[in-house]
Each structure stands twice: as structure tokens, then as C-alpha cells.
A and B are shown apart, each in its own frame.
Chain A
Amino acid sequence: MLVVGPLLCGLVLAGAITVGWVVLGEPVPAHGAVWFQVTKLGTARNNGGPQQPFFVLALGTGARSDDPAQSPDDPGLADAVHVIGINPGLKAATIVDIPRDTEGPGGAKINSYIVNNPGGNDLRAEADAVQSIVGVPISWVIRLNFPHFQQMVDEIGGIDVNIPQQMDDDFSGAHFAPGLTHLNGEQALQFSRDRHSFSNGDLARSHNQGLLIISALQTLQAKHPSAGDTVRLIATLGRHAKLDNVSIWDLFHMGSQTLSFDAANIKNVVLPVGDGPGSNLVKSGDAAGLLADFADDGVLQTH
């Protein structure tokens, strides 16, 4: 009886299933339905970098070589001066472009402190001067010169820039039509050097340099870089940039953070300046309000 009971039960069950399968066919979920299946999807990112707002000074100099003796045309004046406020919590940043003729402490132009400190820490001297104008603590300094800038842009595959207006300048070599344009290293340098195509000269140039930084970020983001890709990018930047107070580790985390920012959350503004002594420019207009807005959390909310 121990075998007959399950035998009969099994035969009846198997027969019922078989008859049902033959008569009704294979069970198929109704159109658009699934059979009790739930899918969960979650993502998480923790990039380990600073969590508080911080400020980075990005400098571009006109030096044609790492060796000053090989750069007679330009000792390495910082003609591109940008203070970048980064707020990891807000995933936002602001670039304040400082025109090169802005007057620094002691009356010198802001582009010159980097070369007026022979034997000292040139990057720190420049940062201290910029800090006195902007009023924020600059933690990190990154500097590129002409050849390294070009090589770096080429190594990352170029930059897609939405060029705001027609540019024709034989001094820099910039000849570009408005619109989205892919720039190689040489062209990116031409774009960021041109000040003759604009009525407001260096102010528009400074703004374009900030635009190039944001465009570079967007170009890299479009490639959806993995952590490994970020390693390669940072290695490239590290090979070409001179750094002060920035370790490669810091650079990696800063890069990882900013690569996750929506470019729409990055503002690019030129420090309001007006005529000062001689050919110097001094802060004007609402510069004080703008810098106060910038200093509190690294990003502009009301400007």
C-alpha cells in the first residue's frame, strides 16, 4: 500500500497535467505580463574624494618649453588664470576667469607672480596672489605650458567645443566658424590664445578658456569613462602638468568627482573688472558680491 498510494496519486496528477498540456497547450503569459518576476536595479557611487568644497587654481602659461632658456618669447607668464570652485556635495562647480591684466598685490599684473619668484615656489607665489584677489583658500595648483597643453589635448583625443562666434586671428592662428567643432591640441591652443577676434579682447579670451575646460569635461564624459579610463586620463594630466600640493591620488579623486558632474551645473564667469592704474585692471561692478557668493560654497547661486 505504501507504493500503490503515491503511484495512483502520481498517475492521476501526471495524467491531468498531460491532458491539460495537450488540450490547452504550453502555458504562455498573457501579452505584456510576466510570471511573478521582479527585477531590482540599484546603482551607487562613492568616489572617495574630498566631500567639502575646495578651490583649484588652473594656470596656462605662454612658455614654449619647460626650460626657460628655450622660451625666449615668453618666460612663462600665466595668461590663463582660472579659479575653479568644486562642491562635491552639490555636484556643481564654478570657474571664475581672472583676466591676465588684473592687478595683484603690490600692483603687478596677476599673470606675473609665477615668474617673479626666482628660486621659490612659483606656483605657490601665483596662488597666493590670486587668493588675495578672489578671497578663497586655494588648495591645489595645476599648470600647463604650450607644448604640454597641446600634447595633452592630443593624447585625450581632442576636445569638442561649441565655438560661440567667428574667430579669425593670425597671431594665434585661430580661424574657426561658430558651432560644434572638434579641436586637436594645436587648434585648442589657438582657440584659447585668440584675443583679437573680440571687441573685449582678453575678457572674451578668458571666458573661452573656461569654456574649453567645460568642453573638455563634456568630451570626456561622452566617452563614459570607467575607473580605468580615469586612471589613464589622470596619468596623462600628471605627465603634462606641473602640480603644487596635489598628489596623483588627489588628482584621481578630483577627476572622478568632476567627471560625474553634469556640465549644466558648472558655471563659467569672468571676474568683473574695469580700468585701473596704467594698463592694469581692477575689480569693478559687482565683483565683491560675486566673489562672496563664490567663496561660501565654491559655486555661484545668485550670479
Chain B
Amino acid sequence: MDDGSPLRTRAHDRRARRRRLSRSVSAVVVIAVFAAIALASCSGGDESSDTKKATTTTKAETKVDITLGPVSADSAGLPATVSADQSQRVLDAITTYVKGALVQPLLSGKPATADFGGVFDPTTLASATTTDRAVVLDEGLPKVTGNLTVTAPPVWLLGLGDKSGNLVLITASISLDATGETKVKGDPLHIERRADLVFQPDASGTWKITSYDMVVSRAGSGLTPTTTTTASSTTTGAKKK
């Protein structure tokens, strides 16, 4: 048996050439398919094209995650407690505030339209929506067109009881962190808000904000310098040329 005959060698070479050609053609086809899919999906091509129909759209999501943290009470006399129901009502008011003051204006790109009468008492509402509006409400910012995520560490509640142990107020410390994708190129919109809120029940028993101490910082591309009438406001910025 002679395995190294010329006839046998030529046949081996032909098979090797066919395998190489086959592999090259396969590679070109795979690359072309991947490239076509990838580029067609990001191209601004004809609306009626078949490739446009093949793309998938991810719907923007809005997440607001605010939960209750430690709840306690101090008192000027007999012991006071904050009940589970009272805690939940305060948390609900905070969530209503966040949705109306932050989420709605950001998603709509328009001023807040929520009715905050159930969240603030009348006197405090007047300040919150006039003098302190630029701090309390997130208006005049780029519209969030992508995902909007609002997170916060668990909210701490501390009640104050009078000499008889009756609960007269509840303070809530919140620290919100919101990030939203806008159409403005560059960094997403990022809002940090720290607030001490004081709640008191009104005549109907609804716990409403009667005072606040709030600090907000907003960062991201496309924010324009604004003049506010709040107690303290600074604006800085620069654009690379």
C-alpha cells in the first residue's frame, strides 16, 4: 500500500480547497447577515421596508420605589406611638407628592398639574407652589422619554407625642434619587432630593405636610441655567468647545 501516490495527493488537495472555499463563503454570509441586521435596525430607512418591520421596540419604564423604614415616636409625657395605619397614610402622601411633583412633570415635559391639596396644608401649599416652587417641583427640565427610575432608602418616620401621649406630628426624612433618559445627548437627567417633612392631621384626620426643609440638586445634559426665587439656589455649568 502506497499512501503517498500522486493521484491520492491531488484528490486530497481538491477536497482541502473545497473546504476552505466553503468556510470562506459561510463566514462572509454570516458576517453580512449580522451586519445587515445590526445596521438596518439602527438605520433611519424607509418606513415601509421589510427590515423596519423586523425591529423590536422596548417600551420606556417608570419605576417609583419608596418603602417604609423604621417608625418610632418620642413624647413630652406619656408614651406615644405611630400606628401602622398612620405610617401608611404618611407614606401614601409622600408617594403622591413624588408622582405629582417629579414623575408627572418629567414624563410630560410640562408643569406639574397634580392637585397637592391632599398632600400639603393650605398655608404650606402656598409656599410650596410659589416661593419654593423651583425646589419643590421638578419643572422646566428636559422631558424624560426613556426609562425613569425613582429610588429612595426606606423612609424614616418619627412621631412626637404631647404630655398625654397623643400623637401631634410625624416627621419623615426622605432621600430621593431619580434618573431619567432624555432626548438630549450626553448624561441622563439625575435628581437628588433630600427632605425633612413634617406631617400633621387636618380636621378630617388626613395627614398633610405642614412644613418642609428641602435640598435638591439636578444634573444632566441640557439643563439650562435658571433663576429661582428659593432661599438658596446656585447654577453652574460649562460646555466643551
Contact = CB atoms under 8 A, between A and B. Distances in A.
Interface of A: 2-3, 5-7, 9-11, 29-30, 33-49, 226-228, 230-232, 234-235, 237-239, 247-249, 251-253, 256
A38 B160 contact: no
Contacts of A44: 127-128, 131-132, 135-136, 212-214, 230-231
Given A3-B39, A43-B232, 10 more contacts: A3-B36, A33-B240, A40-B219, A40-B223, A43-B233, A46-B212, A46-B213, A226-B196, A248-B162, A252-B169
B212 to A, nearest CB: 6
Question: Most A CB atoms within 10 A — which of B132, B173, B216, B238?
Answer: B238
B160 A39 contact: no
Interface string B32-45: 10011011101101
Interface string B179-209: 0000000110000000011101000000000
Given A29-B240, A43-B135, A46-B211, A11 B35 contact: yes
B232 A248 contact: no
B124 A46 contact: yes
B235 A2 contact: no
A37 B219 contact: yes
B196 A6 contact: no
21 contacts: A9-B43, A10-B43, A34-B237, A38-B235, A39-B235, A39-B237, A41-B216, A42-B134, A42-B135, A43-B232, A44-B127, A45-B212, A46-B124, A46-B132, A48-B121, A228-B171, A228-B196, A238-B76, A248-B163, A249-B200, A252-B198
Listed residue (B211, B230, B237) with the most chain A CB atoms within 10 angstroms of its CB = B211
Given A10-B43, A36-B240, A227 B226 contact: no
B152 interface: no
Contacts of A234: 76, 160
Contacts of A34: 237-238, 240
A48 B124 contact: yes
B217 A239 contact: no
B214 A43 contact: yes
B239 interface: yes
Given A7-B39, A42-B134, A228-B158, A2 B46 contact: yes
A47 B128 CA distance: 11
| Across the A-B interface, the 3 shortest Cβ-Cβ residue pairs | A238-B76, A48-B211, A38-B237
A44 B236 CA distance: 19
Contacts of A235: 74-76, 160-161
Contacts of A3: 36, 39-40, 51
B168 interface: yes
A227 B197 contact: yes
B123 interface: yes
Contact of B211 (A11, A29, A41, A47): A47
A37 B186 contact: yes
